[in-house]
Amino acid sequence: MTSGKGKAPAGKSKARPAAAKTKGRTGGRATPSRARAAKTTAKNPFLQRWTTPFEIPPFDRIRTEHFKPAFDRAFAENLDEIAAIAGNKAAPTFANTIDALELSGEMLDKVAAVFYNLSSTDSTPQIQAIEREIAPRFAKHGMAIYQNRALFRRVDALMRAKAKLGISQEQERVLERYHRGFVKSGAALDAKAKKRLAAIAQEGATLGTRFSQNLLADEQDFLLMLESEADLAGLPDSLRAAAAQTATEHGHPGKHAITLSRSSVEPFLKFSGRRDLREKAFKAWIKRGANGGKTDNRRLVADILALRAERAHLLGFKSPADSTLEYSMAKTPANVKKLLGEVWGPARARALEEREALQDAVLAEGGNFKLAAWDWRYYAEKVRKTRFDVDEAEVKPYLQLDNVIDAAFDVATKLFGLSFAERTDVPVYHPEVRVFEVTRGGRHVGLFLGDYFARPSKRSGAWMSGWRSQRRLGGKDVRPIVVNVMNFAKGAAGEPTLLSMDDAHTLFHEFGHALHGLLSDVTYPTVSGTSVERDFVELPSQLYEHWLERPEVLSKFGRHYQTGKPIPQSLLDRLKAARNFNQGFATVEYLAAAIVDIDLHVLEEPDGLDVDKFEKKTLKKIDMPEEIVMRHRIPHFQHIMGGYAAGYYSYMWSEVMDADAFRAFEEAGGPFDREMARRLYDYIYSAGGCRDPADAYIAFRGRLPTTDALLEKRGLKRAAAA
């Protein structure tokens, strides 16, 4: 799972609760001058009805200059709608408040979806300029809605009368989401507390920015110069070239250098034969943010935690973790800790076995020292090479992009009865984009767009997004339009594009998200498709990856692009074994960080916390092997000081679930078992956020997930039994 994955469609939205996260100043509204608006109406596609096939945005007619007037109109329209709902003289009902909110902001949705998809896939300096201008307006817009006292009173009244409203489970979830959006924005607080909440948000943002800037400064200040050939011992050509490039960028042309960015220092630790240099680089790397002086983050962390605790208390929670987890599948810090704890034991046991193997490797080459943290990656790479001599590049000729796309489609056909037909009569935003109409039993399901190749105007990573989410509210069956965006290197002219196994997994992963959007079958946009809890959203995507490496799929679609021969099973087996190697280390490194994250955010009074002491104490409690350092130490734990507080666990949470969910198929009739596929469709892929995620999982699986299948998948099972 990478950070770019799983971006929800049309994420930048308006009145709906998803926008509750937006922070910013409250303020007035922008209304375009009527004369100007009238003049642009004639040509601006956003101000006209779309007559394109499937009402897809008329990309061929949309110009950059259309966005600003369209945003102006859309913000104004939405605020008028909100004012009408809030000012309604009639007593609040579900229909005149929640339905009305759900139906509002249609134009803002459309403009934002086109704009933000374009800004990440085919950006220009002009689009970036609009982006900078629009971001604070979205923040302001969110505040104008979620701090609207009259509107909150209506939602709150409905929430209190929930049991007597006679509403469906789905409606109840929608109501709860709105209510939560208001409460977390401080709408329920008195003026003084509200003011303090705003101040906390502002102060927190400032401290968060300083945290990242300090970290960047520490990473940039350090340069390990590799002066001589001896300093380059062990480094492969690609790494030498990168180190030469780094040196040039830092004003030392003709030399080699390593920085503290992960992409520079981690390969160096893996390959450098110079133990003294590894030690130097490693020690600097793990001290980022804790070097004393102006860039030290330790005090900042304590201040940020204190602000978060204060915010949680203001909102009525015991701790920041309790506040974050209230609406998640995990629900409580205790549940998170229980899950992490279950994996910790077997992972640690495996890591200790790995440590022994690495120590043996040290001795075997005549080294007379005890393995240290800066040795781990180096000896792990050596052992991996001797035990599983496998080159990822061997797989590529078997994985042609077009075939992997077909494979992803074929799995969806077998599981859910979907058909895919390419359409060339639909406008696209870039000539490389492919469009497929998705149908089920002859009925239109939605449009799937594939945008597969890297280009300079696209941001890096891979993600799913969309222009329209499925909904039925208002008597109209609106079908989704979703996209998968990748950054594959395009094959040379006349040659097919070949993927690595990782690339193929990414394609299946994002297609799993796409199916979650496409198969959605709900009434309300707020709970449509991928609009589910943060620790649940990766289930449909990660689960889908399991089908890729099934023999039923690979033997058919994984064929050599020259010989047509299927990929050899022995090659797959070797790859799998190589992948399982060093999983003890990887799991321990990750889990330690996840445990520290949760422990930090359950603190009720973190004021003046001694970050070093806290980290040491927590690691001692779990008996952290001293040769492994947590993946992100607190002074440079960007994830949790950014927006992912008490959320680092969710990578493991999702992995536990996807392993357990696929096991359900294996326990039934195999990977395409019809009854399991039906349940998967009913309770997961089509259900959006209509249910509590734990209930949805139980409906699918018959019980909550256990860690058993994950331990097996990561190859930790044997250690568990030992």
- CA 496 to CA 388: how far, in whole Å? 29
Choices 6-14, 319-327, 524-532, 698-706 (CB under 5 A): range interacting with Zn ion = 6-14
Q: Smaller CB distance to Zn ion: residue 122 or 538?
A: 538
Strands 443-453, 481-488: pairing is parallel
Q: Smaller CB distance to Zn ion: residue 5 or 714?
A: 5
Q: Min. distance of Cβ 538 from Zn ion in angstroms?
A: 5
Active-site residue identified among 510, 538, 615, 655: 510
Q: Min. distance of Cβ 462 from Zn ion in angstroms?
A: 9
Q: Min. distance of Cβ 694 from Zn ion in angstroms?
A: 20
Q: Min. distance of Cβ 513 from Zn ion in angstroms?
A: 6
Q: Smaller CB distance to Zn ion: residue 303 or 538?
A: 538
Choices 127-135, 332-340, 477-485, 535-543 (CB under 5 A): range interacting with Zn ion = 535-543
Q: Smaller CB distance to Zn ion: residue 319 or 541?
A: 541
- CA 130 to CA 702: how far, in whole Å? 49
Choices 2-10, 152-160, 379-387, 465-473 (CB under 5 A): range interacting with Zn ion = 2-10
505 DSSP β-pair partners: none
- 369 dihedral zone (left: phi>0; alpha: psi -120 to 50; beta): beta
Q: In this structure, what is the dihedral angle of CA atoms 513, 515, 516, 518, given to the nearest 10 degrees? A: 130
288 in Cβ contact with 218 (< 8 Å): yes
711 in Cβ contact with 717 (< 8 Å): yes
Contacts of 431 (CB under 8 A, 6+ apart): none
Secondary structure (3-state) at 622: coil
Q: Nearest-CA neighbor of 590 among 542, 624, 617? A: 624
231-290: contacts with Zn ion (CB under 5 A): none
- CA 46 to CA 67: how far, in whole Å? 8
Q: How far is CA 58 from CA 10, 45, 63, 241, 450, in A?
A: 17, 7, 10, 45, 17
Choices 1-9, 117-125, 363-371, 709-717 (CB under 5 A): range interacting with Zn ion = 1-9
Q: Smaller CB distance to Zn ion: residue 3 or 64?
A: 3
Q: Nearest-CA neighbor of 510 among 535, 485, 546? A: 485
Q: Smaller CB distance to Zn ion: residue 2 or 209?
A: 2
Q: Nearest-CA neighbor of 379 among 395, 362, 366, 403? A: 362
* Contact letters for Zn ion, residues 490-529 (x by CB under 5 A): ----------------------------------------
Q: Smaller CB distance to Zn ion: residue 186 or 540?
A: 540
Q: How many chain residues touch Zn ion (CB under 5 A)?
A: 4
Choices 489-497, 533-541, 669-677, 678-686 (CB under 5 A): range interacting with Zn ion = 533-541
Q: Is 5 in the site for Zn ion (CB under 5 A)?
A: yes
Q: Min. distance of Cβ 547 from Zn ion in angstroms?
A: 16
Q: Min. distance of Cβ 1 from Zn ion in angstroms?
A: 6
Q: Smaller CB distance to Zn ion: residue 502 or 573?
A: 502
Q: Is 6 in the site for Zn ion (CB under 5 A)?
A: yes
Q: Could you tell me how many residues make up the chain?
A: 722
Q: Smaller CB distance to Zn ion: residue 6 or 9?
A: 6
- CA 644 to CA 410: how far, in whole Å? 35
Choices 19-27, 325-333, 367-375, 540-548 (CB under 5 A): range interacting with Zn ion = 540-548
Q: Min. distance of Cβ 118 from Zn ion in angstroms?
A: 21
Q: Is 320 in the site for Zn ion (CB under 5 A)?
A: no
Choices 44-52, 249-257, 282-290, 532-540 (CB under 5 A): range interacting with Zn ion = 532-540
Q: Min. distance of Cβ 409 from Zn ion in angstroms?
A: 19
Secondary structure (3-state) at 471: strand
- CA 587 to CA 277: how far, in whole Å? 26
DSSP characters for 646-680?
T-TTHHHHHHHHHHHHHHHHHHTTSTT-HHHHHHH
130-189: contacts with Zn ion (CB under 5 A): none
Q: Min. distance of Cβ 7 from Zn ion in angstroms?
A: 8
Token match 């110069």: residue? 225
Distance, first Cα to last Cα, the chain: 30
Q: Choose which of 121, 297, 403, 541 interacts with Zn ion (CB under 5 A).
A: 541
The tokens for 406 are 């077909």
- CA 569 to CA 605: how far, in whole Å? 56
712 an active-site residue?
no
Task: Please report, as ranges, the residues that interact with Zn ion according to CB under 5 A.
Answer: 5-6, 538, 541
Any idea which residues carry the catalytic annotation?
A: 510
